[in-house]
Amino acid sequence: MTATAPMMMPMLARGRHRSPRRGACFMELASYLAGEPWTDSPACTDESLAHLARLVNDLSTDAARPELSAMIPSVIGLRGLGRGFADEIALIASVHALPVAAQERQRGIAVGMLRILGEVGDYTSHADELWKASARSMLTQYYGIERWAREFADRMGLVGGDRSATGAMTEIAARGIAEACVSDPDVRLRELLRAGITWAHECAGVNPAVVPELAPQHWAGVVRPART
Residue 72: inside a domain:
yes
Residue 226: inside a domain:
no
Residue 73: inside a domain:
yes
Residue 6: inside a domain:
no
Q: CB–CB of 127/84 below 8 Å? A: yes
Residues 90 and 167 in one domain: yes
Residues 126 and 138 in one domain: yes
Cα separation, 12 vs 29, in Å, equals 9
Residues 212 and 201 in one domain: yes
Residues 105 and 143 in one domain: yes
Per-residue pLDDT of the chain (228 residues; tens, 9 = 90+): 344 445 677 878 888 777 767 778 999 999 999 999 999 999 999 999 999 999 999 999 999 999 999 999 999 999 999 999 999 999 999 999 999 999 999 999 999 999 999 998 888 899 999 999 999 999 999 999 999 999 999 888 765 556 558 999 999 999 999 999 999 999 999 999 999 999 999 999 999 888 988 878 778 777 777 765
Residue 146: inside a domain:
yes
SS3 225: strand
Residues 94 and 143 in one domain: yes
Residues 159 and 190 in one domain: no
Q: 225 phi and psi, to 5 degrees? A: -75, 155
Residue 205: inside a domain:
yes
Residue 115: inside a domain:
yes
Residues 174 and 106 in one domain: yes
pTM of the model: 0.92
Question: DSSP strand E in the chain: where?
Answer: none
Residues 93 and 158 in one domain: yes
Residues 144 and 199 in one domain: no
Q: ∠ CA 187-190-191 to the nearest 5 degrees?
A: 85
Residues 171 and 92 in one domain: yes
Domain region containing 28: 20-82+186-219
Q: How many residues does the chain have?
A: 228
Q: What is the CA radius of gyration of the chain?
A: 18
